[in-house]
């Protein structure tokens, strides 16, 4: 028996010794499977992986100061190097300076201030700059009592969708989930409880199906709250394009899970690659005609076994849409790992080949938008002691408050609703945030010597495996 096999058996036994701790919503997996690359691999794959890891050593170096960085920025810096991080930071700084002046001129000082606050204080998520946390996050993680009262929130504005993307939990919900839209009155009730400097409205559904979505955009514009959302751009019509442009939406993340129709169409069922590309080009033309700086156009590819080989091609696809001028200087291309659950488990990418990384990185360095890698491979994830996602609550349809958006896409909505910290239609957010249970969650989340909160078991963005094996799990949190 060679060392790899011994390691495998040791690891395997360790994982299975905590079988009783598997997350209640996972039927087929045992706890730990998701965050380790060892389980179920035969010798030849272990050899292949060893080779891969050795090669990747050349591009995946951890340095001590990287422990200061949150999730996606950590992985990107590890894989692309510190120089790339500095280049992205500079791109963003110069772009945001211009955009804040543009907003000041068009909407006044309040819009200017809130946009800058988005870039400085919003910790994670679409369009967040998080500048403040590069310095303060070690202190906040050590003393969570210092965590700022959120002025940033993610709100689910619909749970209705007319597509059937094979990797999305919405497709696998069955009849158990209530599918409906958030009304403008409900939306106002939620945002009235915060003094927001950023909002991300999305959810498990397609926002444009909500007839109040334009009212939501208008309300955010009226309050000068920088507004970000995610959409697939498959059925966006001219009128919708014009409205988005008229409201100066801060940023859009366009989901395209492939770089060719052959790969994209079978995954994004109901969408059409060529139509999406046409709509994006049309939208950019309109934005250029009107000489607008906003919205910033970002792109997201959910990396699965079906499309991982197209990562380098995806960089080229986005490059074909334009650069700083067309997309915005802070624009991002996010490669995100598929958030996995029982029904999409076979799509999960355990390890990405050195060759794909290398080609993607080389291509990315020739673009003037910023390429970010977020939880695309479990072995690259930082430990949960580095997480600051909990600073940004997520409001599920119906008002239930959960700690972050990463817990979504685990096809366990019942668990999330049942274990939410509170409901915004029954209590104020202030009371929920200051409740003993939420406080206790914040107290232990970054402390490696403590148990893993139940919400964070099976987190696909941070690695909790070793910690859970060592300290166990607090299912009450």
Ligand X SMILES: C[S@@+](CC[C@H](N)C(=O)[O-])C[C@H]1O[C@@H](n2cnc3c(N)ncnc32)[C@H](O)[C@@H]1O
276, 234 Cβ separation under 8 angstroms:
yes
> Does a cis peptide bond (omega within 30 degrees of 0) precede residue 222?
no
Of 163, 215, 324, 350, the residue at the interface with ligand SF4 (CB under 6 A) is: 163
337 near ligand SF4, judged by CB under 6 A: no
Q: How far is the CB of 287 from ligand SF4 (least distance, A)?
A: 23
> Among the candidate windows 6-14, 65-73, 333-341, 394-402, which touches ligand X by CB under 6 A?
333-341
Q: How far is the CB of 402 from ligand SF4 (least distance, A)?
A: 9
> Among the candidate windows 156-164, 310-318, 367-375, 469-477, which touches ligand SF4 by CB under 6 A?
156-164
Q: How far is the CB of 286 from ligand SF4 (least distance, A)?
A: 23
Reference 420, options 440, 450, 434, 399; nearest CA is 399
The Cα 285–Cα 326 span in angstroms is 9
**Residue 259: HSE in the Cβ half-sphere, 13 Å Cα cutoff:** 19
456, 383 Cβ separation under 8 angstroms:
no
Of 33, 231, 235, 377, the residue at the interface with ligand X (CB under 6 A) is: 231
400 near ligand X, judged by CB under 6 A: no
Of 114, 119, 167, 332, the residue at the interface with ligand X (CB under 6 A) is: 167
Q: How far is the CB of 368 from ligand X (least distance, A)?
A: 23
202 contact choice in ligand X, ligand SF4, none (CB below 5 to 8 Å, kind-dependent) = ligand X
Reference 286, options 241, 321, 323; nearest CA is 241
In the three-class reduction of DSSP (H, G, I as helix; E, B as strand; rest coil), residue 448 is classed as coil
DSSP state of 118: H
339 contact choice in ligand SF4, ligand X, none (CB below 5 to 8 Å, kind-dependent) = ligand X
- Cross-strand bridge partners of residue 255: 300
> Among the candidate windows 35-43, 225-233, 236-244, 421-429, which touches ligand X by CB under 6 A?
225-233
> Residue written as tokens 């701790």?
21
21 near ligand X, judged by CB under 6 A: no
CA 104 from centroid of its chain's CA atoms: 29
**Residue 47: HSE in the Cβ half-sphere, 13 Å Cα cutoff:** 4
Of 77, 202, 210, 370, the residue at the interface with ligand X (CB under 6 A) is: 202
Q: Which is nearer to ligand X, 108 or 266 (CB)?
A: 266
Q: How far is the CB of 171 from ligand X (least distance, A)?
A: 9
Q: Is the dihedral of CA 138, 141, 146, 148 positive or negative?
A: positive
> Which residues, 388 to 447, sit near ligand SF4 by CB under 6 A?
389-390, 403-404, 406-407, 445
The Cα 463–Cα 460 span in angstroms is 7
409 near ligand X, judged by CB under 6 A: yes
Of 154, 204, 235, 310, the residue at the interface with ligand SF4 (CB under 6 A) is: 204
Q: How far is the CB of 289 from ligand SF4 (least distance, A)?
A: 28
Q: Which residues contact 434 (CB under 8 A, 6 or more apart)?
A: none
Q: How far is the CB of 403 from ligand X (least distance, A)?
A: 17
209, 160 Cβ separation under 8 angstroms:
yes
Q: Which is nearer to ligand X, 117 or 306 (CB)?
A: 306
DSSP state of 271: B
User: Any alpha helices (H) in 67-208, and if so which ranges?
Assistant: 71-80, 82-107, 109-121, 131-142, 184-191
Which residues in this chain contact ligand SF4 in the complex, by CB under 6 A? 161, 163-165, 168, 170-171, 204-206, 232, 384, 387, 389-390, 403-404, 406-407, 445, 455-456, 459, 461-462
Which residues in this chain contact ligand X in the complex, by CB under 6 A? 161, 167-168, 202, 204, 206, 230-232, 255, 257, 300, 302, 336, 338-339, 344, 409
């Amino acid at each position: 028996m060679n060392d790899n096999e011994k390691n495998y058996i040791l690891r395997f036994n360790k994982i299975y010794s905590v079988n009783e701790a598997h997350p209640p919503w996972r039927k087929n997996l045992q706890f730990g499977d998701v965050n380790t690359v060892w389980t179920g691999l035969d010798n030849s794959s272990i050899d292949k992986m060893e080779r891969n890891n050795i090669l990747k050593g050349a591009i995946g170096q951890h340095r001590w100061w990287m422990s200061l960085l949150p999730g996606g920025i950590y992985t990107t810096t590890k894989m692309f190097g510190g120089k790339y991080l500095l280049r992205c930071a500079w791109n963003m700084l110069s772009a945001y300076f211009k955009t804040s002046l543009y907003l000041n001129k068009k909407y006044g000082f309040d819009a200017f201030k809130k946009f800058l606050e988005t870039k400085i204080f919003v910790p994670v998520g679409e369009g967040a700059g998080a500048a403040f946390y590069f310095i303060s996050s070690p202190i906040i993680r050590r003393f969570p009592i210092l965590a700022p009262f959120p002025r940033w929130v993610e709100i689910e504005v619909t749970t209705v969708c007319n597509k059937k993307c094979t990797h999305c939990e919405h497709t696998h919900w069955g009849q158990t989930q209530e599918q409906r839209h958030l009304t403008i009155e409900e939306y106002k009730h939620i945002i009235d409880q915060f003094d927001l400097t950023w909002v991300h409205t999305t959810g498990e559904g397609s926002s444009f199906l909500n007839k109040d979505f334009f009212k939501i955009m208008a309300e955010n514009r009226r309050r000068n709250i920088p507004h970000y959302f995610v959409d697939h751009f498959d059925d966006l019509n001219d009128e919708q394009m014009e409205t988005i442009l008229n409201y100066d939406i801060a940023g859009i993340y366009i989901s395209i899970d492939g770089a060719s129709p052959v790969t994209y169409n079978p995954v994004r069922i109901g969408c059409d690659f060529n139509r999406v590309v046409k709509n994006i080009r049309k939208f950019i033309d309109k934005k250029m005609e009107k000489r607008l700086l906003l919205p910033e156009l970002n792109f997201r590819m959910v990396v699965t076994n079906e499309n991982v080989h197209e990562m380098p091609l995806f960089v080229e696809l986005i490059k074909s849409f334009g650069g700083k001028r067309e997309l915005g200087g802070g624009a991002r291309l996010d490669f995100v790992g598929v958030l996995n659950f029982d029904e999409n488990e076979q799509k999960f990418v355990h390890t990405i080949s050195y060759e794909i990384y290398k080609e993607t990185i080389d291509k990315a360095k020739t673009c003037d938008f910023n390429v970010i890698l977020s939880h695309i491979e479990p072995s690259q994830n930082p430990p949960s002691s580095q997480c600051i996602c909990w600073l940004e609550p997520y409001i599920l349809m119906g008002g239930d408050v959960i700690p972050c958006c990463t817990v979504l896409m685990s096809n366990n909505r019942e668990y999330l609703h049942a274990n939410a910290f509170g409901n915004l239609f029954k209590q104020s957010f202030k009371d929920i945030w200051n409740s003993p249970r939420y406080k206790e969650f914040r107290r232990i989340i970054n402390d490696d010597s403590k148990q893993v909160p139940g919400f964070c078991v099976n987190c696909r963005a941070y690695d909790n495996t070793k910690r859970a094996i060592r300290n166990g799990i607090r299912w009450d949190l």
